[in-house]
Chains A and B, each alone.
Chain A
Amino acid sequence: MKRIKPNNKQINQNSPYVSTLTRRESLKWLGVLSASALLPSFTVFSELQKTQSDASSVVKGHWPKLKLSPISAKGYGTDPAMVIPKSPWPRTLTTEQIMLVAVLADILVPRDGYVPSASQVKVPDVIDEWVSAPYEKQQRDRFTILSALRWIDDESKLRSSNIFVALSTKQQFEIIDDIAYEKADTPKQFRQISHAFSAFRRLVLAAFFCSPEGTKDIGYIGNIPINGDYPGPTDKAMLHLHQVLDDLGLSL
Chain B
Amino acid sequence: MKNFDYEVIVVGSGAGGAMAAYTLTKAGHKVLLLEAGRDYDPKTETPMFQTKGQAPLMGASTKDKDFGFYDATVDGGWTVPNEPYTTGENTEFLWWRARMLGGRTNHWGRFALRFSEHDFKAKSRDGLGADWPFDYPDIAPWYDKTETLVGVCGTNTGLDDMPDSSIGVLQPPPKPRVTELLISAAAKKLGIATAPMHRAVLTRPKDGRQACFYATNCGKGCSVGAAFQTTTSLLPMAKATGNLKIITDAMVRSVDVDDSGKVNAVTYIDKNTGKDIKLAAKVVILAASACETARLLLNSKSKHHPDGLANSSGHVGRNLMDSTGASLGAHIPALEGRPIYNEDGHTANHLFIPWWGHKQHAKGELDFPRGYHFEISSGFKEPSSSLNGNFQGYGKQLKAEAKKHFGARITLALRGEMLPNEHSYMEIDDKVKDKWGIPVVKFHWQWSEHELKQIAHGLKTAKVILETMGASFSQPLPSPEKAILKGGQIIHEVGSTRMGACAKDSVTNQYGQTWDCPNLFIMDAGVFASNPHKNCTLTIMTLAMRNSTWLAGQLDSSTNPIKAWES
Contact = CB atoms under 8 A, between A and B. Distances in A.
Interface of A: 1-3, 75-83, 85-87, 107-110, 112, 126, 129-130, 133, 135-138, 176, 180-183, 198, 201-203, 205-207, 209-212, 214-215, 217-227, 229-234, 236-241, 244-245, 247-248, 250-252
Nearest to B187: A250
B490 to A, nearest CB: 22
Given A210-B52, A214-B383, 15 more contacts: A78-B65, A79-B74, A87-B57, A108-B398, A136-B63, A181-B393, A209-B387, A210-B384, A219-B380, A220-B383, A229-B175, A230-B345, A233-B178, A237-B341, A244-B335
Given A87-B56, A219-B403, A79 B75 contact: yes
Contacts of B51: 210, 212, 215, 223
Contacts of A226: 213-215, 342
A59 to B, nearest CB: 23
Given A135-B63, A181-B393, A220-B381, A109 B181 contact: no
Interface residues of B, number: 81
Interface of B is mostly: loop
B53 interface: yes
Contacts of A236: 339, 341
A72 to B, nearest CB: 15
A251 B185 CA distance: 5
B63 A219 contact: no
A135 B75 CA distance: 17
Contacts of A85: 47, 50, 54-56, 69
A215 B53 contact: yes
B70 interface: yes
Interface of A is mostly: loop
A240 B336 CA distance: 11
Contacts of B80: 78
B429 interface: no
Given A207-B58, A215-B53, A241-B178, A221 B338 contact: no
B382 A130 contact: no
Interface in B233-292: none
A225 B48 CA distance: 10
Nearest to A88: B56
Given A232-B175, A234-B341, A244-B334, A1 B213 contact: no
Contact of A227 (B177, B213, B386, B391): B213
Interface in B508-564: none
B342 A224 contact: yes
Interface in B47-86: 47, 49-58, 60, 62-65, 69-70, 74-77, 80-81
B402 A218 contact: yes
A87 B398 CA distance: 29
Nearest to B75: A78
B389 to A, nearest CB: 9
B344 interface: yes
24 contacts: A76-B62, A78-B75, A85-B50, A85-B56, A85-B69, A86-B56, A87-B57, A107-B394, A107-B395, A136-B63, A180-B393, A201-B394, A205-B387, A206-B383, A206-B386, A210-B384, A210-B385, A218-B383, A221-B340, A229-B174, A230-B174, A230-B345, A232-B177, A252-B184
Given A82-B70, A244-B334, A248-B469, A130 B383 contact: no
Contact of B334 (A108, A239, A247): A247
Interface in B382-413: 382-387, 391-396, 398-399, 402-403, 406
Given A82-B47, A218-B406, A250-B468, A224 B182 contact: no
A49 B69 CA distance: 38
A78, A203, A225 pick with most chain B CB within 10 angstroms: A78
A215 B74 CA distance: 29
B480 interface: no
B395 A206 contact: no
Contacts of B339: 234, 236-237, 239-240
Nearest to B79: A78
Contacts of B88: none
B186 interface: yes
Contacts of A218: 383, 402-403, 406
A80 B220 CA distance: 13
B496 to A, nearest CB: 25
B188 interface: yes
A133 B63 CA distance: 12
Please provide the 5 A-B residue pairs with the shortest distance between their CB atoms, ordered closest to farther: A232-B175, A87-B56, A210-B53, A222-B344, A209-B383
A245 B383 contact: no
Contacts of B434: none
Contact of A241 (B64, B181, B345, B399): B181
A103 to B, nearest CB: 12
Interface in B7-63: 38, 44-47, 49-58, 60, 62-63
B46 A82 contact: yes
A63 B336 CA distance: 38
A198 B55 CA distance: 23
B121 interface: no
Contacts of A81: 45
B56 A76 contact: yes
Contact of B57 (A77, A138, A183): A138
B383 A176 contact: no
Contact of A219 (B56, B215, B406, B469): B406
B311 interface: no
Given A77-B64, A209-B402, A223-B49, A252 B338 contact: no
Given A1-B53, A1-B54, A75 B391 contact: no
